[in-house]
Structure 1
């Protein structure tokens, strides 16, 4: 068995354990709201507000980092072509309709950790809240059944790495 098969087996086992827990309608609604908070259009609105407030360097970091993150994200999505849980597992349906076909890496989680990392550099007092939100975005994507755990872990690493790179280049 190669390493990718081992990782997938671990993911399926962990994912199945999570899905075996009782889902409640209110928790699913909360998961949807958290997931929605990491949708791309909200990031654009946030960047516009930051630009309007005079955070030009931060907005430049967000723009550069986002371009890098999306490029790497799309290369990984197209390269790995990992099926989402609903497509990979028998008798399973996700709680939401995913935005694209493939699972790896989680773009919502990547974006959330990218934003958390960048904003924490400018607003350190928000550090805990930002990373708490980002972690919950990743958990919500698993809970809603659209990602395996390693999809979100790699998404978090990708977003953080792209933020660090953009900050390193522009600051």
Structure 2
């Protein structure tokens, strides 16, 4: 399914898969946020939920970047820099550890690639 239609379908499919996996992992691992475990660390923002692993913002950003890069833009570089900046911001805001962000990037990119593969067979 080429073009904008394929992009939209792949994006919807990816987020329909990614969000439940993200919530399942977050509520299974129940990892505390940096502010809760590292003395002297104060989060710059109040997170929407309690647990840290994985980073949902990063997962969503890499999911979008992978699909847009593969199906629309044809170049990953600017989109992955954007997604990486989102991940870095989550660390700088003290709401995630680096491994939370890395896991989010892997989850988002992998689910996006699987979704693209599934959509391309339709």
TM-score, scaled relative to structure 1:
0.66
2:88 match: 139
1:43 match: none
Q: CA shift at 1:125, angstroms?
A: 4.4
TM-score, scaled relative to structure 2:
0.92
The ranges of structure 1 where at least 4 consecutive aligned residues each deviate by more than 3 angstroms after the TM superposition are none
- For 1:161 and 1:122, the matched residues in 2 are separated by 15
How many correspondences in the alignment? Answer: 118
2:25 pairs with 1:68:
no
Secondary structure in structure 1 of the residue aligned to 2:76:
helix
- For 1:67 and 1:125, the matched residues in 2 are separated by 24
Determine which structure has greater relative contact order: mean sequence separation of CA pairs < 8 Å that are 6+ residues apart, divided by chain length.
2
Give the 5 Å matches for 1:84-95. 84-95=33-44
**TM-superposition CA deviations, 1:85-116 (whole Å, max 9, x none):** 11112232111111111000000000010010
Q: CA shift at 1:127, angstroms?
A: 2.1
> Does the 8 A contact of 2:90 with 2:96 survive in 1?
yes
Alignment RMSD, CA only? 1.2
Secondary structure in structure 2 of the residue aligned to 1:91:
coil
Question: Which consecutive unaligned segments of at least 5 residues does structure 1 have?
Answer: 1-53
